[in-house]
Amino acid sequence: MKLKLIPFLLAGTALVSGCQQNANTISAPSIQKEDAIAVVNGQFISKADLETLTKEVSARARGQKIPTDKLVDELVKRELLVQEAKNKHLDQSAEIIERLNMMKNALLSQAAIEDFIKSNPVTEAELKAEYDKQIGRVAGGTEFKARHILVKTEDEAKAIIAELDKDADFAKLATTKSTGPSKAQGGDLGWFGAAQMVAPFSEAVAKLENGKYTTTPVKTQFGWHVILREDSRQQTPPPFEAVKAQLEPMVKRQKLTAYLDALRKGAQVEILVPLTEEKPAEVIEAVEVTESADGKTAEVIEAVEIIEPAK
């Protein structure tokens, strides 16, 4: 199998650290020959640079192993380009210095975050407290299974209700008349908790009996709905051990947010540019836990501006 080297020129940490001397007063540490993997025009390339590049490539290539000679060749090319840039005095341009400073600040801010997380690890007690809080939201709660037909006007919704009163099939009407993403499934929304839906929708579903549909249209910011409640059941929370790993990034994010808020509160901050305020859209927030390429768990928050819950 032919392996293709992923192009990381001008993207690696090794290159950034090597070029930053002109962006600030901190000089790169001197490299001894015994700590080097190559020498280019008298300049050593360190073993640490090779180790860093290896980790970068492994993370981005999803674990694909890149031959060491290819990585060394990449570092040699980087060093040649760095030397060429310095010979042309590109490292002295205001634009490059500004960009290097931005890169340095990004690295330092990330280092501060990593230092905080290392110094303030998530404890078992914090995980249990978050679990209890999450369980408290659903304890004794009810899940619903429903279908809906979404249209633009109240008159359209009333016409659909009139057809249902004449024993029309709800799923078929949803397929032909609904404008919502669930129309392909006959309006099927699956199982959802009340908190997953906007208030008017949830309240209407809660008032229905199983097997009944709304006899008056339900208005939300998405349009007018006709809703059929098919079934209901009590929500059963998963055990703590089953979700502990998923709770950790959530608690970690909360701790980091509190830390940043405290830093902001204790600082003197003056905003010097006008800020435009936009009315926030009414959205439903869905939390998905994903695994990053380097094996570290990360949490992703996605704002969903549709009425259907995630399937």
Domain ranges of the chain: 13-119, 124-132+239-304, 140-234
- Backbone φ and ψ of 110, nearest 5°: -65, -40
| CB distance 283 to 126 below 8 Å | no
Structure confidence by residue, pLDDT tens digits, 8-46: 444 444 344 444 444 444 556 688 889 999 999 999 999
d(CA 215, CA 165): 9
Domain 140-234: CATH architecture, name and number where available: Roll (3.10)
Q: Which residues contact 130 (CB under 8 A, 6 or more apart)?
A: 247, 250, 251, 254
pLDDT value of position 152: 96
Q: For residue 301, give the amino acid letter.
A: I
pTM, to two decimals: 0.54
Q: At what angle do helices 240-265 and 124-138 cross, to 10 degrees?
A: 100
**Which one-letter DSSP state was computed for residue 22?**
G
Q: How confident is the model at residue 252 (pLDDT cuts 50, 70, 90)?
A: very high
Beta strand 188-193 pairing with 284-291 = unpaired
* Residue 41 φ/ψ region, left for φ over 0, alpha for ψ in the -120 to 50 degree band, beta for the rest: left
Structure confidence by residue, pLDDT tens digits, 295-306: 333 333 333 333
**Which one-letter DSSP state was computed for residue 194?**
G
